[in-house]
Chains A and B, each alone.
Chain A
Amino acid sequence: MTARLVPEANDPIAPRAATPITITVNGEPVDGVLGQTLAGVLLASDILAWRSTSFGDRPRGAFCGIGVCFDCLVIVNGQRDVRACQRRAASGDAVVFHRDAPLGPSGDR
């Protein structure tokens, strides 16, 4: 188990009912609620990494959560390089992970 949405029934802030939305992640449907960022939807669905690095092909996801580190970049509806922690999710958003081909030792693809 890892990142999770706080269950509404146990949440001390007493949330009111949220509006469900559905986005697709690499073609698969993923449920969220209106007002979440894309990073929020992904993390709440236990998706911790959604990018691989160019040199080491290492997994990355959210790190700073406030738009500073650019680790959480995704492709949304064909737009590249969108910070998932800064973009609100809209129903029907098509999220695709950045999977750059790893660079060779000389930096060539």
Chain B
Amino acid sequence: MDQLIVIGAGPAGLAAAVSARAVGRPVVLFDSSDYLGGQYWRHLPPERPARRESVLHHGWERFQSMREQLEADPRCEVVTGAHVWAIDHGRIHVMVGEADGTDREARVYDAGAVVLATGAFDRALPIPGWDLPGVFTAGGAQALAKGERVRVGERVVVAGTGPFLLPVAASLVRSGSTVVGVYEASRASRLVRHWTARPWELLATPHKVLELAGYASSHIGHRIPYVTGHAVTAIEGRDRVESVTISAVDGSWRPIAGSERSVAVDAVCLGHGFTPRLELAIAAGCRLSAERFVEVDDEQRTSVASVFAAGEITGIGGVDLALVEGALAGHLAAGGRLHDPAVRMLRLRRGVLRQFARRLARAHAIGENWTTWLTDETIVCRCEEVSFASLCSAATTTRSSGLRSLKLLTRAGLGACQGRVCGRTVEGILGARTPQGRLSGPRTTDRRPIAAPIRLGELARQGERTTSTKQRP
């Protein structure tokens, strides 16, 4: 039987590989990192063993058992350091080796059946001074705490929106930082409205509610203020972060004049939700939803019949939903049936967890007037150092509504990160200033035909050195 290719070894990809193996299908599992686990189970490398690493994690035993099972399975080929850089005409192009290396092995696989589980990364909205050293994404601070045991600062502020800010603050505390506060921009009234709507739905997810309550109570234990309706609206410092301005914001996230206060900190962690990693799904031809996630049917199947998707690329839902979707995708992509009894339970659970995810998304939606905290000089595109004023003037003076021409004019999103950090922000700022109030054309900043950086030398050598792995067992 043809092998199933699983791209991404976070919770969704691991669950997909395990369930595909359970129905007997050979699996090839790719991850760009050198260890399995994804961002959620980002951990110390084996060279740095610790007796109680589990205290930094939720579901650590589940991760260990999935990892051990797959690594011991001769019919599961685990390929770490696997940088999938293109999917083209049914072929998956992978560079295997160290990150940004010069002499990696080029491999090409037939995309017979594929599960995409590429995950998501933190979105951070621009703030004056957010380009200073000492400002991190919330996930970056989390990755450094879990994967490096580095604490990003002594006095740290955590700001943005969403429940993910809480485990980040907890990790910082466990790494010895003083967290001066967690500032959630959504106002309490909005949170309460969405958390108390249809309360019967919550009965099905008591452990999620308890998990959040656990974070809240541990915050009280550590005396970390959790403040709603407030945002970090400026970050100050000469060559590194020295202080932040915290402001009360209204329901649209417009700072309320006169509410500002300055707090001395040496690090800032920002998280305003997540951006799915869609490059490979787009390259594979998968249709996206209006909310810009990969559209999947009841079977986790995308609009391309041989391609399945699971986890955060189908909607931000957290680890439990990713595990369930991954297990379903792996089972069905491997040829399992939708009406198997085990699958019935997974589908029910998926429905409940998706309701929970929708509730979170509504409670923590980005306020439409957040840009009012920007100054003309605030950098929006960090790579190409494009300011807010230059983006605005490009849109208003050209009266263009084409994303491509505006990007070429301003260079926003054309730098090293290829718009991963600023893309959706740039689209929002430009779109609001076009004559029609939105950008025209089908292209978005999510499209990146080269999905991972490769060196021209490696590309030039590829023809002569490619290992075709079509015949692998």
Which A residues are within 8 Å of any B CB, using their own CB? 1-7, 10-16, 18-19, 33-37, 39-40, 43-44, 48-49, 53-56, 58-71, 73, 79, 81-83, 85-88
Contacts and interface: CB of A to CB of B under 8 A. Distances in A.
Interface string B15-35: 000000000000000001010
Interface string B117-153: 0000110000000011111110111111001111111
A19 B49 contact: no
B100 A14 contact: no
Contacts of B140: 62-66, 85
A63 B100 contact: no
B209 to A, nearest CB: 26
19 contacts: A3-B150, A6-B176, A13-B50, A40-B147, A43-B152, A48-B134, A49-B133, A49-B240, A55-B385, A58-B385, A60-B133, A65-B144, A66-B121, A66-B139, A68-B121, A68-B420, A70-B383, A71-B382, A86-B100
B49 A15 contact: yes
A83 B100 contact: yes
A47 to B, nearest CB: 9
A2 B135 CA distance: 11
B420 A69 contact: yes
Nearest to B54: A13
A98 to B, nearest CB: 11
Interface string B38-61: 010010111111111101100000
B239 interface: yes
Contacts of A68: 121, 417, 420-421
A56 B377 CA distance: 12
Given A43-B144, A60-B133, A5 B47 contact: no
B320 interface: no
A82 B421 contact: no
A83 to B, nearest CB: 6
A31 to B, nearest CB: 14
Contacts of B176: 4, 6-7, 10
Nearest to A14: B51
B148 A59 contact: no
A10 to B, nearest CB: 6
B174 interface: yes
B141 A65 contact: yes
B149 A5 contact: yes
A27 to B, nearest CB: 21
Interface in B45-102: 45-53, 55-56, 98-102
B267 interface: yes
Nearest to A4: B151
A44 B421 CA distance: 25
Interface size class of B (residues with CB under 8 A): 35 or more
Contacts of A37: 147-148
Nearest to B49: A16
B110 interface: no
Contacts of B47: 18-19, 33-35
A78 B406 CA distance: 36
A73 B416 contact: yes
B239 A59 contact: yes
A62 B98 CA distance: 19
B154 A5 contact: no
A39 B150 CA distance: 10
B312 interface: no
B100 A40 contact: no
A13 B53 contact: yes
A14 B52 contact: yes
Contacts of A19: 47
Interface string B292-307: 0000000000000000
A23 B463 CA distance: 35
Given A49-B240, A79-B100, A13 B51 contact: yes
Contacts of A61: 133
B267 A11 contact: no
Given A4-B151, A13-B56, A87-B99, A62 B144 contact: yes
Contacts of B150: 3-6, 40, 43-44
Given A48-B133, A49-B133, A55-B385, A2 B153 contact: yes
A-B complex: 9 closest residue pairs judged by Cβ atoms: A65-B140, A35-B47, A86-B99, A70-B416, A35-B45, A40-B148, A49-B133, A14-B51, A65-B143
Nearest to A77: B102
A2 B141 CA distance: 13
Interface string B170-182: 0000111000000
B266 interface: yes
Contact of A70 (B266, B385, B417): B417
B437 interface: no
B415 interface: yes
Nearest to A87: B99
Contacts of A15: 44, 48-51, 149
B100 A6 contact: no
Contacts of A5: 148-151
Contacts of B122: 64
